[in-house]
Structure 1
Amino acid sequence: MLLPLFVSTVFDPLTQFFRSPSDKEKKLKKAVATLIGTRPSNLELYRLAFMHTSVSKPVTGKDLRLSNERLEYLGDAVLGMVVAEYLFKKYPYKDEGFLTEIRSRIVNRESLNLVARKLGLDKLVEYDPNRRTVLTRTSMYGDALEAFVGAIYLDKGFQFTKKFILKRLLSSYFDLDKVVETNINYKSQIIEWAQREGREVRFDVTEKGTARHKEFIAELLIDNEVFATGSGFNKKKAEQSASEKGMEKLNPVKSTE
């Protein structure tokens, strides 16, 4: 009963508001159909899924601005649950710490941003072009992917969405063996290298963006000189990114020793 209520209170009064040129509508319908393997029943859900908050639109008479944030919230929950169930069944003898870590590696913003681009969602997202430089460095596309999952759930139901996540996302874009094996702590490696070589290493981290779309920039300094720079959606990720780039610069030198 939630879907009719959601549609009637939010989408029906906005039919005129969302009207767009037929060619644009056909393009969106074709793109969605290609992605999910069938025609969308409610195209407005998908249109909303790709509406970034930078181009949010007010709803007349309501304290609400339309963007994909609500669908993102829903899609995040659906995606997390499906992945959690899948890992629970695939690894019956692993503890909750292992399952939580692997799920985090799959649904983190970096992974979702990458998958979203591979799916072509970056071509569908509507956003303020004046903020392009900032937005493309944030979780905009990963957020849109979660909103897209939320739209599929409302449009096609849970079982359809579950199949989409397992077959279209997990099977196509994640090698679970590699996900499980990949646990490289580049920061520890760079610190260990510095200790062996008698070098001083430290990180300077700065923040950019808004409270919701925050980005961290980390500079890896060796003997007070910037050696590598990395970014991420939290301080730890940024330092790991900078450390990974630092190790990449060091490895060719080490291999010739």
Structure 2
Amino acid sequence: MKNIRNILNSRFKRNGNFFMELSKTLGFKPKRIKFYKTAFTHRSMNLKDSKGNAINYERLEFLGDAMLSAVIASHLYLEVPSGDEGYLTKMRSKIVSREHLNELGKDLNLIDLVESKIPPGQFGDNIHGNIFEALIGAIFLDKGYKFCEKFIYKRVIIPYVDIETLEGKVISYKSLLIEWCQKEKKTFGYNVYEDTGNDDVRHFSVKLSIDEKIVAKARATSKKKAEEKASKRAFFAFQSKMSKMI
């Protein structure tokens, strides 16, 4: 009996702490805590429900992504009546970019609430944005569309969405460079190779060539980051020509 009481007390303390910390982060008290527990459960926990379905944040991430896109699309449609479909799509992409969502997740310190068997230091940056999207999905299921919309306005649109600033924001320098090269009929290539430096973490180096001439070099902890870094350097080298593509 004593062991059962200890288990129940431990579970109550854990859930109680989670509820208090979550309420502090959100600015309101959740009704159905189970949605939020799922939103902060990493797949490494290997949890399943009574029907054998996985319990983790990934399905809520999908739902939250759709909610964010819908609310942001509605805002842009009303805010920029002169914007055509291409403009609105590009602007929405800038707001809900992985980089931006990661920043939002970091600002709210959501990683501190994640339940996982993986040490926090071993997560990639995208965990922050993934959890933020899952949180949006949980809020929608718990509170409904209108409440979820208000939360997105309060946490995303009002503090971060400035149309004029976003118009000059680049989501991916690599995508921008490729688009420019294709439009200008220029050949380009990324020569990526593993860097055998003295770093504790493996690095990759890249040489970016345009029309068979090396225009930028970069080094990072992944091929993707190295390519993006080199593309950014190339962008500033050709900024006067490429800025029209933003």
TM-score by length of 2: 0.71
2:138 is aligned with what amino acid?
A: A
Aligned residue number for residue 51 of structure 1:
41
Change in Cα spacing, 1:113 to 1:19, as seen in structure 2 (3 Å) is: farther
8 Å CA contact 2:216–2:231 kept in 1: the answer is no
Query: Secondary structure, in 3 states, of the residue corresponding to 1:35?
Result: helix
Q: Distance in 2 between matches of 1:20 and 1:96?
A: 53
Aligned residue number for residue 170 of structure 1:
157
| Backbone CA RMSD of aligned residues | 3.8
Q: What count of residue pairs does the alignment treat as equivalent?
A: 212
Mapping for residues 84-123 of structure 1, pairs under 5 Å: 84-123=73-112
List gaps (5 residues or longer) in structure 1. Answer: 1-17, 193-200, 207-216, 250-257
8 Å CA contact 1:219–1:227 kept in 2: the answer is yes
Note the alpha carbon deviations across 1:163-203, whole angstroms, 9 max, x for none.
000112221234332111224875577xx9xxxxxxxx842
Counterpart pick for 2:58 among 69, 75, 97: 69
Q: Distance in 2 between matches of 1:80 and 1:20?
A: 39
Q: Distance in 2 between matches of 1:55 and 1:168?
A: 29
| Residue identity (%) | 33
Aligned residue number for residue 36 of structure 1:
26
8 Å CA contact 2:139–2:148 kept in 1: the answer is yes
Counterpart pick for 2:227 among 233, 236, 239: 239
Q: Distance in 2 between matches of 1:26 and 1:74?
A: 26
TM-score by length of 1: 0.68
8 Å CA contact 1:231–1:242 kept in 2: the answer is no
8 Å CA contact 1:220–1:243 kept in 2: the answer is no
Aligned residue number for residue 220 of structure 1:
206
Aligned residue number for residue 184 of structure 2:
none
Note the alpha carbon deviations across 1:43-75, whole angstroms, 9 max, x for none.
111111011222231224x24111111111111
Q: Distance in 1 between matches of 2:216 and 2:165?
A: 31
- How far has the Cα of 1:131 moved from its partner? 8.1
Aligned residue number for residue 17 of structure 2:
27
Query: Secondary structure, in 3 states, of the residue corresponding to 2:31?
Result: coil
Change in Cα spacing, 1:184 to 1:163, as seen in structure 2 (3 Å) is: closer
List gaps (5 residues or longer) in structure 2. Answer: 1-7, 181-187, 194-202, 238-246
2:230 is aligned with what amino acid?
A: A
